[in-house]
A and B are shown apart, each in its own frame.
Chain A
């Protein structure tokens, strides 16, 4: 079955460093992949979308890569800030309207 794996362990980093989160998927070849941010008790907020023919996408301090051979996406936050602390979800489109989400990785940025 289609599966998305994100590191279930929380990632703790120091303010100012680059945070790198990993998303691996199996048994599917998505046309695009999305990253969302979710704060406790809130709904996810869309951050970035990257298509299968794009290797890298940037938005301000965020960068996403998409390796369709490895079936992996990396999500980077440069110059991280305590306000970046949240859970980050990876999502892939599985055809038509349907999207499946990873369980997310919790990021803690220490001041």
Chain B
């Protein structure tokens, strides 16, 4: 149980393109989802916390107009990288917490999206 599907797994596109990444909880309802960015050999960097039906909470230094997050249902959150540039190239990972969150619950991660901007 507790499977999170992230799509696409890899994207290569030209500079200036907007890219949408989907994160779905397949067998549970996720009231809260997180979006992370990870550089090689570095820790996961939290970008934003997404709650179903409300605006995402962005971490300091993350541009909300650049990284648009939508959590329209209890099983789907999307991250759109708008007008992507080479410096946005990275590994983006989502995670989800099941409904009825309690503070010591582990996160369930998707398999990440490798974004490469040419």
Query: Are B43 and A43 in touch, CB under 8 angstroms?
Result: no
B104–chain A nearest beta-carbon distance, Å: 5
| Chain-B contact segment, one of A13-21, A56-64, A71-79, A95-103 | A95-103
Name the one of B41, B43, B97, B104 contacting A4, with C-beta atoms under 8 angstroms: B43
* A contact residues around B41 at 8 Å (CB): 8, 103-104
* A contact residues around B110 at 8 Å (CB): 43
User: Does B107 sit at the interface, judged by CB under 8 A?
Assistant: yes
Query: Are A99 and B107 in touch, CB under 8 angstroms?
Result: yes
User: Does B93 sit at the interface, judged by CB under 8 A?
Assistant: yes
User: Does B77 sit at the interface, judged by CB under 8 A?
Assistant: no
* A contact residues around B49 at 8 Å (CB): 97-98
A83–chain B nearest beta-carbon distance, Å: 18
B35–chain A nearest beta-carbon distance, Å: 12
Q: Which residues of A contact B (CB under 8 A)?
A: 4, 8, 31-32, 34, 36, 41-46, 49, 51, 89, 93, 96-104
Q: Which residues of B contact A (CB under 8 A)?
A: 4, 6, 32, 34, 41-44, 46, 49, 91, 93, 95, 97, 101, 103-104, 106-112, 114
| CB<8 Å pairs between A and B, sample of 29 | A4-B43, A31-B103, A31-B104, A32-B103, A41-B114, A43-B4, A43-B6, A43-B93, A43-B95, A43-B109, A44-B93, A44-B107, A44-B109, A45-B109, A46-B106, A46-B108, A49-B104, A51-B104, A97-B32, A97-B49, A97-B97, A97-B101, A97-B103, A98-B46, A98-B49, A99-B46, A101-B44, A103-B42, A104-B43
